[in-house]
Amino acid sequence: MDGETAMYKIKDIMKTSISVLMLSGLLVAGSLADAQTEKAPALSQEAEAGRSLYNDWCAGCHGADGLGDGPAADYLDPRPRNFVDGAFKIRNTVSGELPTDEDIFKMIDVGMPGSSMPGWKKQFSEKQIHQLVAYIKTLIDMEFFGEEIPEKITVGEPLPSSAESLAKGKELYRKLKCWECHGEEGRGDGPSAPTLKDDWGNPIISADITKGWTFRGGSHTFDIYRTFTTGLDGTPMPSYIDTIGDEDRWHLSNYVKSLSPLEMPPVKTVLTSRRIKGEIPGNPDDPIWRQGEDYFFPLAGQIVFEPKLYTPSIDSILIKSVYNDKEVAFLITWNDRTRNAPEKGKDELPDSMAVQFPVELKDERPHFVLGDAGNPVNLWKWKAGGDTLEEANARGVGKYFPQGPESQGLKGDAAYMHGRWKLIVKRSLTTEEENNDIQFVPGEFIPISFLAWDGSNNEAGGKMSLSSWYYLVLEKPVTARAFIFTPLAILGAVGLEFLAMRRARRGARSRN
Ligand code: HEC
Ligand code: HEC
């Protein structure tokens, strides 16, 4: 595998960690399924062809009989669809109706973002996807639905987004109590959110509508409009077709659309720490923290060592870094639907975040899950509830050593508002404990990664979300010489970045 493909694969794994890693297992499960469904009644030729594709590629998740109970199902959240009950989320038909053939086709073709349902565009021809559609329809228990053709929704003229339309949409969001489930600012943290269940009795989280790229049905304005119009069957997300008129549904869609970017923010390899003059502000709302770039890093559940986390709740963080001549600081922001900050002695798991560095800069990076025997890591770990900050070292899972009171004065502060944590951590650039602590030298490429725990999702210890390694660079101070050589300096920086990428790729390749 070349470097390019290796990087791509890592990114892909970060996005759909479970689906990708499980596919090999599914193949085995699929052949098992083949043996179990011999009893099926006579099918059309098209459905028959679909059946064999289904057994090979879909049954591992959706189950041999389409009950959503394949061998992988217990590891997935949301669970794979039970086709027999005929409740489909994404449809162009009114609430409670079956989807159209095109609806099913599209879901198979593009997949369902934010879930483990992959898109199959690259795997199958259009003809094969039609065969799968034909077969899936035979799995539905038609006694409940009868013979009538499902009623399609009528779509009114789209209304362009404007300040006025957004204001109306925002008002509707309040009035229709969307916030009860989705939260004041849309991060899925509303008061009803913890109690929600799907039609099969499984707990279901209400969508974080500030992350449009995780919407199952897509995040174009029309997709959102369709969601309000049809509701998501099988879930508590209702249809508003009888509650508000067509225009209002467009206003609401414009508003929801404005809450998030259309696509997942790009993931960069190198996080640059900006040099500032004067003190590092401890308040996340200080103008200094509003300048400069937010870096986006995806997180995935830890499934390398026991105990594993198959259904992580924190899927990404946003981070900024600044430094001055004494200290380096990070502002880490992440969405978490519930605040878990237990008081001392309370039997509740706290929300938690850690920044991970290698202790020593070598060619080889430590294992991304807490380092390894030959390559220890330095961890800065924050826990909600008493806001404890701990410096620690680790040499692999189960080998975690807090530095204790003589550690080097990590400082920080955290605040929780409307489904989001903001944490600032800072430390002096250098310490006296070179054997245990990372030392920061401007211009050096320092591996950095992140570990996160959501207390309400029973996350603690090895049950965590984590990122792969990225690089941190403290930008070099600008000197008079640098002004003269700016073009050269830029060239040099690009060269270095390239070098870092190459290194990252080499690392990725050696792990693959
Ligand atoms: C890795 C597991 C996995 C595999 C493999 C998989 N699916 Fe899914 N599928 C899911 C999950 C999970 C959902 C439900 C997502 C949700 O509810 O948000 C789903 C949902 C669906 C839906 C429902 C769409 C809707 O609107 O509700 C269809 C149709 C579907 N899958 C078809 C297929 C077909 C066909 C295949 C094989 C070619 C397949 N799936 C393979 C996990 C999988
Ligand atoms: C009773 C709780 C509840 C209410 C009220 C509610 N929703 Fe939802 N909504 C949900 C749940 C649960 C989901 C996630 C379903 C899933 O996992 O597929 C969801 C999903 C969504 C999605 C994502 C759709 C997709 O394609 O994945 C959007 C957008 C959304 N809701 C917006 C709204 C807006 C706007 C309102 C008010 C008009 C609203 N919701 C009212 C519970 C609710």
- Ligand 1: residue of 24, 61, 140 to mutate (most ligand atoms within 8 A of CB) is 61
- For the Cβ of 231 lying below 6 angstroms from any atom of ligand 2, the answer is no
Give the pLDDT band of residue 9 (cuts 50, 70, 90).
very low
- For the Cβ of 61 lying below 6 angstroms from any atom of ligand 1, the answer is yes
Q: What is the mean pLDDT of residues 131-146?
A: 93
**pLDDT tens per residue, range 176-202:** 999 999 999 999 999 999 999 999 999
Q: How far is the CA of 71 from the centre of ligand 1 (A)?
A: 14
Q: How far is the CA of 253 from the centre of ligand 1 (A)?
A: 25
- Per the prediction, the chain carries an average pLDDT of 88
pLDDT confidence of residue 261 = 86
DSSP SS3 for 84: coil
* Alpha-carbon gap, residue 425 to 321, rounded angstroms: 10
Higher pLDDT, 57 or 13: 57
Q: How far is the CA of 179 from the centre of ligand 1 (A)?
A: 28
pLDDT confidence of residue 139 = 97
Q: How far is the CA of 187 from the centre of ligand 2 (A)?
A: 11
Residue found under tokens 């085995």: 28
- For the Cβ of 78 lying below 6 angstroms from any atom of ligand 2, the answer is yes
Name 371's bridge partners: none
* Alpha-carbon gap, residue 347 to 345, rounded angstroms: 6
Judge whether residue 491 has pLDDT over 60.
Answer: no
Q: Nearest-5° angle of CA 287, CA 291, CA 293?
A: 145
* Alpha-carbon gap, residue 258 to 260, rounded angstroms: 6
- For the Cβ of 17 lying below 6 angstroms from any atom of ligand 1, the answer is no
Residue found under tokens 């006025």: 164
pLDDT confidence of residue 354 = 98
% of residues, the chain, pLDDT over 70: 85
Burial of 28 (0-12, 13-18, 19+ CB in 10 A): exposed
Spatial neighbors of 342 by CB under 8 A, at least 6 apart, are 348, 349, 350, 384, 385, 455
Give the pLDDT band of residue 147 (cuts 50, 70, 90).
confident
**pLDDT tens per residue, range 386-437:** 768 999 999 999 999 999 876 768 999 999 999 999 999 999 999 998 899 9
Domains and CATH numbers, the chain: 17-144 (1.10.760.10), 163-258 (1.10.760.10), 270-477 (2.60.40.1190)
**pLDDT tens per residue, range 320-350:** 999 999 999 999 999 999 999 998 888 899 9
**pLDDT tens per residue, range 289-325:** 998 889 999 999 999 999 999 999 999 999 999 999 9
pTM: 0.87
Q: What is the mean pLDDT of residues 472-493?
A: 65
| CA distance to 296, 300, 389, 497, 499, per residue, from 494 (Å) | 20, 29, 36, 5, 9
**pLDDT tens per residue, range 432-481:** 988 999 999 999 999 999 999 999 999 999 999 999 999 999 999 876 55
Spatial neighbors of 255 by CB under 8 A, at least 6 apart, are 165, 166, 168, 169, 170, 172, 173
